[in-house]
Structures are given as C-alpha cells and as structure tokens.
Amino acid sequence: MTRILVVEDEDRIASFLLKGLTGAGYVTAWAASGAEALALAGIDPPDLIVLDLGLADLDGMEVLRRLRAQGQTVPVIILTARTSVTDTVAALEGGADDYMTKPFRFAELLARVKLRLRTANADRAADAAGAVLSVGPVRLEAATRRAFVEGREVALSAREFALAQTLMGRPGQVFSRGQLLSLVWGYDHDLGSNVVDVYVSYLRKKLGADQIETVRGFGLRWRPPA
Ligand code: CA
C-alpha cells in the first residue's frame, strides 16, 4: 500500500489529482493548506508528497523546508504555476525531488510519481545493504537485526546486537569499557559495574570465544580479519 499526500489549495486541481492517483492504485490523503500538510506528514509520513507551491498560508517551499528540517526524506514532487529557472533551482536545492509546472498532463505526473517511488525504494535497499557488517565468520544485518555465524543464524538480544555492532564496526580498534558503556548503554560515566564484561561473555558464547579480544589494561576489541 503506497500512500501519497496531495498538498493543494485549489479544490478543482486537488480533486483531479486525488481521483487520478486513486485510480492508479495509490492510497491518497489531501491537505488543503501548508499547516495541514505538516500536521498530516508529521503524524503519519506518506511515501510521497505532491506539493503545490502557491498555498494560501505557508509557501510550498516553506513546507518543504520544514519537512526536511524534521528529517523527513519522503520524495516530494513540486507543482507550480511559476516557470522561472530560478524557482526550479530553488525548489530542487530546497530538497524537492522533482518539479512540474502547471498546466501538466496527469500521465506525466504519474510517470514521475512512479519514478520517484522506485528511486526511493532503491535508496532504501542500498541503505539496508550497506548496513551489513561482516568480519571473519560473523555477519550482522542491521536492517533486520539478525546475526549469523558461518551462515547459521544466532539469536542476540538488542544489547548484545548493539555491542557486537559497535565492536565489529571497527575491527581491531580497542574500546575502553567506559566507551562501550556510553556507546551501547548510553551511560556517560563508568558505573563501576561489570555489565560490559557480562555481555562480552554472552557474545563469546554465541558468536565464538575468540572474536572479542581483551587487551589488558585498555579494553576490548573485535579481532581484526586475518
Ligand atoms: Ca495553489
């Protein structure tokens, strides 16, 4: 189910877009103002936004700026009656993914919607693929939180996974226990507890006794690949 938010203050154009997109199989939502668009996108981010620049309250560019400032990476296709090159450049630099000037044919908008959704999916897949850590016999998949030893899946708790991920992210680097407490548990001071060593012992049991090395007087490190 792919959800598209249409931000357009003119009823006629909005209903034309909603009808067309619904007919093409998308689930649609409509915001008639910039404020409404930000509220809707904030509560439940859509998969794509079609954003009119000429809104009655906030300028579409301001809506876009606030969305990006919130860290929203949703693809945005701008619709506008403005045709100057400056506006196009401003929209793209402001974080828009694509740009269409009115009047436009629905078929052309639909083609761009499909292209942007495909690109966004490919980006997500690349992110997920990049988040696979593999050192020696151990492999961690960040997106699915799964761990494997020589291809065999091993169940790790969330903390165990986070500790393995931290150490494996920089094989050979020595982390002090204080650093690990901060990075994995979020403690900013050493509690004098042996929680790190307890978790290291769990990981040694699950992932192999010699993956994590103790560097006496300094801390712990993931054994670098041979
Ligand atoms: Ca408008």
CATH of 3-126, one of 1.10.3720.10, 3.30.360.10, 3.40.50.2300, 1.10.490.10: 3.40.50.2300
Burial class (CB in 10 A: 0-12, 13-18, 19+), 191: exposed
pTM value?
A: 0.58
pLDDT tens digit sequence for 56-75: 898 899 999 998 887 788 99
Which is more confidently placed, 182 or 155? Answer: 155
Looking at residues 155-169, what average pLDDT do you find? Answer: 89
pLDDT digits 0-9 by tens, 81-105? 876 767 777 777 777 888 888 888 9
Who contacts 83 (Cβ-Cβ below 8 Å, separation ≥6)?
101
Mean pLDDT, residues 153-182 taken together = 89
User: 224: CA distance to ligand 1 center in Å?
Assistant: 58
CATH architecture of the domain with range 130-222: Orthogonal Bundle (1.10)
Task: Categorize the per-residue pLDDT at 220 as very low, low, confident or very high, splitting at 50, 70 and 90.
Answer: very high
Distance 106 CA to ligand 1 centre (A): 17
Q: Where in the chain is the domain with CATH 1.10.10.10?
A: 130-222
Q: How far does residue 80's CA lie from ligand 1's centre (Å)?
A: 8
208-to-148, 149, 184, 192 alpha-carbon distances in Å:
11, 8, 20, 26
Output the CA 217–ligand 1 centroid distance in Å: 66
**Distance, CA 60 to ligand 1 centroid (Å)?**
9
**Other CB atoms within 10 Å distance of the CB of residue 110:** 15
Residues forming CATH 3.40.50.2300 domain(s) in the chain: 3-126
**Pair of tokens at residue 41:** 């996108």
> Are 167 and 221 a contacting pair, CB within 8 Å?
yes
* Nearby residues for ligand 1 (ion, Cβ within 5 Å): 9, 52, 54
195-to-159, 185, 186 alpha-carbon distances in Å: 11, 10, 13
Rounded Cα distance, 147 and 4, in Å: 35
